[in-house]
Structure 1
Amino acid sequence: MASDRHGLILEKMRRAIQRTGRFAARKWLLNRPFSKTATSRLLLVTIDERIPQSQIYPFHFYADALRRQYGTEIREVSIEEYERGNSPAPRDATTVCFQTQFHTPRDELIAIVERLKQQNPEARIVYLDWFAPTDLRLADALDPHIAIYVKKHVLRDRSLYGQPTLGDTNLVDHFSKKFGIAEETRLFPIPPGFLDKLHIGPSFVTADFMLHRFLGASPVVGEKPIDVHARLGVKGTPWYQAMRTECVDALGTIADLNVATGGNLGHVAYLQELQASKVCFSPFGYGEVCWRDYEAIMSGSVLLKPDMSHIETDPDIFVPGKTYVPLRWDLADFEEKVRELVGMPSLREEIANNAFTALHDYVTSERFVTQMRPLIA
């Protein structure tokens, strides 16, 4: 365990150095126009925060492969500086991929797109949706202006889009009805043909610290003294708090096991604890897919999560009984599933290794490059 902790500390230091270097490199790229000889010119207009940057990092990590396969040059500029007009962003891109904040008003959203088009008149305009929920709340506003809409995870049944829900997401709808919480009905219109523009991109596996870990070998399962890792935040909106409280209450059925609960730890200590855990219980957050899902797999802990059969993501880590263990949404089978996993080390090792291998194969095969082909080639 001491060597694991040392490795995690070194990883944290590497990430800090990398972030500093990436910021300096971005500032340099910001002032550099595209090469006249570049046939494919990709401009990324991004949010410099942890979750949005998990979508952006792989473009830089696989930059050599993108250049080799499609002749692509990459530039990046902060959306904040771009909106303020402080950035001499490179012009005449052939593709512009952009992100916005979750609550960007519609008129500001359209203004950003119009400026992108004005400065890059021949570009394919792509929106990168980094949001947690599965809904397509920006479809109606963006449809006339974009060629492709990239989302990290979507509803497998596309006919559910454009349908009314209590609250603004499918999760709000489900848990508000379950717990009797009042919510207004919402509907996000889906213009005809918009779903043809929908493109599934990778989720948190492409975050800087995760991608590098998945390049390596599967973590050794070994001795794991913690039976269940379940450090769950509860505070939030009414439906979220009710949903998470039910998850915490379920832990009472396994009180005789060694369960890691309580508040947040520092990230290094958190990952160290996950490495020492047989099972990771990962409930929904404000969306179905969570950091914890990938952190568990990265750490060699079996992912135990409410059934994800309604979700499509790529790479797919939600294959029941193979890469994760699904639970009923009412958690009625929680105790049964936990005790089965804790008592079957060979099953845990198989599922943990399958899940790690799925993500290892994704990052080492450079499949991100072909996955992004519709955007840039």
Structure 2
Amino acid sequence: MIDRFRMKWLETQEEIKRLGRYQRPFDGDLPHRLLILGVDHRIPQSQVYPFHYYRRALKQAGVEVREANVARYGETGESAPKGASAVAIQSTMDLTEAQFDRLLDRVRRANPKARITYMDWFAPTDLRFAEMMAERVDLYLSKHLLRDRAAYGHPTLGDTTLMDFYGRHFGLDQEAQCFAVPDGFWEKLRLGPSFVTAPFMLPVFDRGAFPEGARPIDLHARIAVAGTPWYQKMRQGCADAVDALGGVNKLVGTGIRHDRFLEELRRSKICFSPFGYGEVCWRDFEAVMCGAVLLKQDMGHVETDPDLFVPGETYVPLRWDLSDFDEVVRGLLADPARRERIARAAFQKMQDYARSSRFVEQMTPLWQVTA
């Protein structure tokens, strides 16, 4: 395990590069020049970081990478390299068509032959920008998708799968929403990695080892509850399930520093990582990185790559109403061999991804038309 001081140093060095090396003009000696217009926040940056982490492998594949802040670029179009052959764009969730058209105009004037990708880093599994992007970009990259593509393009109560289920479950009054998916969009859709590529995780999976040591904490379950009505009710139900679990050494509450949070996970047998505003959460991957068994509502409806959510193999699923919570937790605590097998298999799967060429293979359509 890379310690937090080493990780902080690595993150600082990466930030220096983002503000310097990655914004200089393209050298122009490689066939592909990729410009990333990213959102400067830790969640979307987890989608951008691997382009820099794997820069040597990308260079071997003929790709030169640069990055600029999308907000500043949209204001002036300056401080970004020109002449890219591919441009990948992130945005905030309140993006309008007019804003995106203005941004695209700047992009195309500076990079007239560029292949354009929209990078969806949002927590929910919906495709809310599919209609906006269908005729404007060459590719649409998402961190996670519904396995059943036919589930898209239909009305939901609220704007996400989770809002729909928990709104109905708790009898909430929510406005119906439908995000249209135009013809031809599916050919542009691509699935990329989720939080495994975050700056504080990817190097650990790549260079580290499965964390050994004592695990005196039975259940790690720090659950924030405050939020929108459906989220609050869903998360309160999770907190109540944990509170009702007697005779178990558990950690609850919120407000702990991140490095201490991770240290707790390294001393925990099981980590309960409930849904957030989307199904896939930071904590899913943090638990695996720290060697705790991931316990979560059933993720069978979600597709990720690498796939962290193989039931009974890399995580342990729960019913969405948590009616089996007590039984599942106690069963895991009574079976250390099973816990060890699942925790190690999950870590190994993420490590295999980090140490492979899979990321470059996934991203190749961004700069190269593939069959």
User: Where on the TM-score scale, by shorter chain, does this alignment land: which range?
Assistant: over 0.9
Within the candidate set 346, 371, 377, 2:362 is matched to 371
Q: Which runs of no fewer than 5 residues in structure 2 stay unpaired? A: none
Q: Per-residue CA shift, 1:214-260, capped at 9, x if unaligned?
A: 01343244321110000000000000000001001101332210110
Residue 117 (structure 1) aligned with residue 112 (structure 2): no
1:125-136 superposed matches below 5 A: 125-136=116-127
TM-score by length of 2: 0.96
Q: CA deviation at 1:311?
A: 0.3
Residue 63 (structure 1) aligned with residue 58 (structure 2): no
Within the candidate set 206, 218, 222, 2:197 is matched to 206
The letter of the residue matching 2:216 is P
Q: Which runs of no fewer than 5 residues in structure 1 stay unpaired? A: none
CA distance in 2, matches of 1:148, 1:357: 30
Is residue 137–residue 188 contact of structure 1 (8 Å, CA) maintained in 2?
yes
TM-score by length of 1: 0.94
1:1-377 superposed matches below 5 A: 8-23=3-18, 26-30=19-23, 32-69=24-61, 71-85=62-76, 87-377=78-368
Q: CA deviation at 1:195?
A: 1.6
CA distance in 2, matches of 1:198, 1:86: 27
Counterpart secondary structure, 1:268: helix
Corresponding residue pairs, total? 368
CA distance in 2, matches of 1:12, 1:135: 33
Q: Per-residue CA shift, 1:24-65, capped at 9, x if unaligned?
A: xx33442x3223433111011111110111011110111111
Counterpart secondary structure, 1:96: strand
Q: Per-residue CA shift, 1:150-200, capped at 9, x if unaligned?
A: 000000000111100011111100000000111100011111010221100
CA distance in 1, matches of 2:4, 2:86: 38
CA distance in 2, matches of 1:192, 1:86: 32
CA distance in 1, matches of 2:169, 2:359: 39
The letter of the residue matching 1:289 is V
Is residue 172–residue 230 contact of structure 2 (8 Å, CA) maintained in 1?
yes
Q: Per-residue CA shift, 1:69-111, capped at 9, x if unaligned?
A: 2x11111111121011062322221110010111122211222
Is residue 221–residue 349 contact of structure 1 (8 Å, CA) maintained in 2?
no
Is residue 215–residue 267 contact of structure 2 (8 Å, CA) maintained in 1?
yes
CA distance in 1, matches of 2:207, 2:86: 32
The alignment yields a C-alpha RMSD, in angstroms, of: 1.4
Q: After TM superposition, what 4+ stretches of structure 1 lie above 4 angstroms from structure 2?
A: none
